[in-house]
Structure 1
Amino acid sequence: MLEIDSLSKHFGGLVAVDDVSTRIEAGKINAIIGPNGAGKTTFFNLISGTHLPSSGRILFKGQDVTKLGADQMARLGVARTFQSTALFDRASVLDNLIVGHRLRTRSGLWDVLTHSARLKQEERICREKAREALDFVGLSAMAERMAGDISQEDRKRAAVALALATVPSLMLLDEPAGGVNPEETEGLAELIRKLVKHGVTVCLVEHKMNMIMKLADRIMVLNYGKKIAEGTPAEIRANPAVIDAYLGSEHAEV
């Protein structure tokens, strides 16, 4: 689905991502791991269009998208969540999600001024898509709650629902289980499996290794911006370079 060829990003003298090549496979759970400062979030920023790469190439479904911005990538079907879940806390959970489907609408200023039939139709569709996304992530009962009043786990689910409302084919999840307890982590892992079962390819950055090793089909490991390993969870657990740089002996295969 996504092919990355020799991707690099420099911030002045700092090389945040250094000549990384990989593939994100359709219909799979792809994971990116590595120590803090390894370049994982910068890598996400590059493939989602938030930053332009210094060099290299990105192909999405065979199309060169290297120089496209985040809004263009979203319209092509690439959705993104962030480490810190940003919601409009004084708006309802449902109203937060309605925003997500707006990128699929065509209404402009004239439609707003005239309250056109197209505007009313698109508003109805946005509301329907938002409710469908809430139902998918298990938050239907929270639709009218203020976003600032829901739990950390529910905020994580709402972030996934917001991404889902954009109708993506690829979802990039940045630490989807950050800040939640083990039981909630398992619930979020099940949600990720459900996304893939329903046709959304997933790539996630996560520090919870027990979750990743049970969940991911393929794992790429970054360290100081470089790819040091890639493979199945079993291959990654057994890789000496990964054990030394990140996992530690407690995660090694015995």
Structure 2
Amino acid sequence: MFLETRKLTKSFGGLTAVKEVDFSVEKGKINAIIGPNGAGKSTFFNLISGVHKPTSGQIKFRGEDITKLPANKIAKLGMARTFQTTSLFENATIIENVMVGHRLRTKSNLFDAVFNTKRLRNEERESYNKALEVLEFVGLLDVKGQLAANISQEEKKRTAIALALATEPEIVFLDEPTAGINPEETAALAQLIKKMGESGITVCLIEHKMQMVMSLAEKIMVLNYGEKIAEGTPEEIQKNEQVIKAYLGGSVHA
């Protein structure tokens, strides 16, 4: 299996945010995690990406146990993520923000920076070219020179995705990518996520907009109070009584 968790658990003091969750992701597919607010979805992402260490359980990526690895090493293995709150360098340009992502793949150090070595110059050019490539992919090439502070919320979401793609990931975790944007922008971002899947990138997203999830995802996991209550295709999830009771109600088609 490409990515899997076994009995993944995280407790904060007396609160168990994620409880013995078994989850698997197939390579090249779009996966979604849904559930009410406070269900443990972002904590689950934080465990997989190395932001938090699990209390117990195991995480495997391409057969390798990554449970105890720090976030930077997990990123180098080919995982990238965005956060609910888009965090960019507001006084830097869009392309400068995205170049930061590709520096994960470079080897220059302080010596190179002080003496402006050939390696540094070559890698700067590589990072710039990679940033151009991913900005074209996400549809932001025309605003590459603008400051991050001056672009729209939807463009900031695309920039965050571009930054993640610049790390050359095999799997991207998107934490509520359409939060705070209107239906038209949501539809456009859904198309971008679909395009990511079609280009061979494995996607796993947390999302509250059910219509978007049901149209995009090939597999959905439902969390409630930190526990997995269902997993399956969109069709299976929409018919699952436990899911309807816990979360979906009449909002599946909303």
TM range (shorter): over 0.9
> Could you tell me which amino acid in structure 1 is paired with residue 199 of structure 2?
H
1:109 to 1:250, Cα distance in 2 relative to 1, 3 A: closer
Q: How many residues align?
A: 252
3-state SS in 2 of match to 1:49: coil
The 2-side partners of 1:70 and 1:161 are apart by 19
| Aligned twin of 1:201 | 202
> Could you tell me which amino acid in structure 1 is paired with residue 45 of structure 2?
F
3-state SS in 1 of match to 2:177: coil
The 1-side partners of 2:124 and 2:212 are apart by 38
Identity, % of aligned pairs? 59
| Aligned twin of 2:239 | 238
3-state SS in 1 of match to 2:28: coil
Q: Are 1:100 and 2:101 matched, yes or no?
A: yes
Shift of 1:31: 0.1
The 2-side partners of 1:177 and 1:250 are apart by 17
Which deviates more from structure 2 when the two are superposed, residues 195-204 or residues 242-251?
A: 242-251
| Aligned twin of 1:63 | 64
| Aligned twin of 2:161 | 160
| Aligned twin of 1:123 | 124
The 1-side partners of 2:157 and 2:89 are apart by 14
> Could you tell me which amino acid in structure 2 is paired with residue 173 of structure 1?
L
Instruction: Give matches, 1:192-231, under 5 Å.
Output: 192-231=193-232
> Could you tell me which amino acid in structure 1 is paired with residue 109 of structure 2?
G
| Aligned twin of 2:28 | 27
TM-score by length of 1: 0.98
Shift of 1:249: 3.2
Q: Which ranges in structure 1 are unaligned for 5 or more consecutive residues?
A: none
Query: Is the Cα–Cα contact under 8 Å of residues 172 and 204 in structure 2 kept in the other structure?
Result: yes
Q: Which ranges in structure 2 are unaligned for 5 or more consecutive residues?
A: none
| Aligned twin of 2:55 | 54
Shift of 1:251: 2.7
Q: CA RMSD in A?
A: 0.8
Shift of 1:25: 1.2
The 1-side partners of 2:27 and 2:40 are apart by 23
Shift of 1:113: 1.4
> Could you tell me which amino acid in structure 2 is paired with residue 92 of structure 1?
T
The 1-side partners of 2:237 and 2:114 are apart by 57
CA offsets per residue over residues 189-235 of structure 1, 9 Å max, x none? 11011111111100000000010011100000000000000000010
Shift of 1:71: 0.5
Query: Is the Cα–Cα contact under 8 Å of residues 210 and 251 in structure 2 kept in the other structure?
Result: no
Shift of 1:103: 0.9
| Aligned twin of 1:149 | 150
